[in-house]
């Protein structure tokens, strides 16, 4: 099997042609109820298929949240498998939001679950946690690189609880979050047009000028929409690295369902607002 083009290159092209926007597929129980499809397996499947059919041919990235499928057991995971495969077949890049983080053979098994071609849940990229030590991700980084996939590593997240770990400093005065960013910059050294190993950095965090965000890789920025950040905030938060930012929005788009047309209009509106914000920078 011929290795696919590196994720970073594919993502750069998708962001440039489709617009820099990631839409999360987050089938919350409340959202399934609001859509009128019911908080059950049939509602999960209808919700997922509607989002994919509405958006996979037009947005750069779709990001299914694994937990909302896992809560239905094996049948929910089967829906996730179909969702990932159908979204990729329609042309979207798929970032599977599973936030896996473990050590040794367990982490290798997670990597093979999501980043091995032919695996039922094979995706273009995976979210991972480095908080058992960045080195615990080595087998995952290696497998992603081998198969042309990407990773988004939790670095500076928008949840308030994250600060107690991510802002903690070592003996040299460097924070944990800054260390993660530095390790990602090393992974991406020399990559063009964009490295495949990105960081998750919250769009709600305000001025991040004290952090070096120039990792030569993508910055997945949750927090747009329901969490309070807007596309217009991006230049102030991300500074010179803003053109490598992939803003992520979930409820801000999904709440407009179940009509496919309304979902498309909402996604297009966010993408246009991001383009306008970046053009003004």
| Residues with catalytic roles | 99
Tokens 């990597």 appear where?
Answer: 111
Q: Catalogue the long-range contacts made by 269-275 (C-beta closer than 8 Å, 24 or more residues apart).
A: 270/21, 270/224, 270/225, 270/231, 271/18, 271/19, 271/20, 271/21, 271/59, 272/19, 273/230, 273/231, 273/232, 274/19, 274/20, 274/21, 274/231, 274/234, 274/247, 275/19, 275/20
The continuous run of DSSP H or E covering 9 comes out as helix 7-18
Q: Catalogue the long-range contacts made by 71-75 (C-beta closer than 8 Å, 24 or more residues apart).
A: 72/41, 72/44, 75/41
- Tell me the C-alpha distance between 230 and 236, whole Å: 11
Which one-letter DSSP state was computed for residue 125? Answer: E
Question: What are the E-state strand segments in the chain?
Answer: 22-25, 61-64, 93-100, 125-128, 150-156, 197-201, 219-221, 245-249
- Tell me the C-alpha distance between 224 and 76, whole Å: 27
């Amino acid at each position: 099997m011929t290795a696919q083009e590196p994720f970073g290159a594919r993502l750069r092209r998708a962001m440039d042609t489709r617009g820099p926007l990631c839409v999360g597929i987050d089938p919350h129980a409340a959202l399934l109820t609001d859509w009128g499809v019911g908080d059950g397996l049939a509602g999960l499947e209808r919700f997922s298929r509607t989002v994919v059919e509405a958006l996979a041919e037009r947005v750069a990235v779709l990001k299914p949240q694994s937990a909302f499928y896992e809560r239905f057991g094996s049948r929910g995971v089967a829906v996730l498998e179909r969702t990932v495969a159908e979204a990729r077949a329609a042309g979207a890049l798929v970032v599977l939001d599973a936030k896996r983080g473990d050590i040794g053979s367990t982490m290798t098994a997670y990597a093979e679950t999501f980043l091995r071609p032919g695996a039922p849940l094979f995706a273009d990229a995976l979210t991972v946690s480095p908080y058992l030590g960045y080195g615990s991700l080595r087998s995952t980084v290696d497998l992603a690189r081998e198969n042309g996939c990407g990773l988004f590593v939790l670095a500076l997240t928008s949840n308030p609880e994250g600060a107690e770990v991510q802002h903690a400093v070592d003996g040299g005065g460097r924070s944990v979050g800054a260390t993660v960013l530095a390790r990602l910059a090393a992974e991406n050294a020399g990559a063009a047009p964009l490295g495949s190993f990105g960081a998750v950095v919250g769009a709600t965090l305000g001025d991040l000028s004290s952090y070096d965000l120039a990792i030569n890789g993508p910055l997945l920025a949750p927090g747009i929409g329901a969490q309070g950040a807007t596309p217009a905030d991006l230049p102030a938060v991300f500074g010179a690295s803003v053109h490598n930012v992939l803003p992520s929005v979930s409820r801000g788009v999904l709440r407009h369902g179940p009509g496919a047309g309304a979902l498309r209009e909402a996604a297009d509106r966010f993408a246009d607002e991001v383009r306008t914000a970046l053009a003004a920078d």
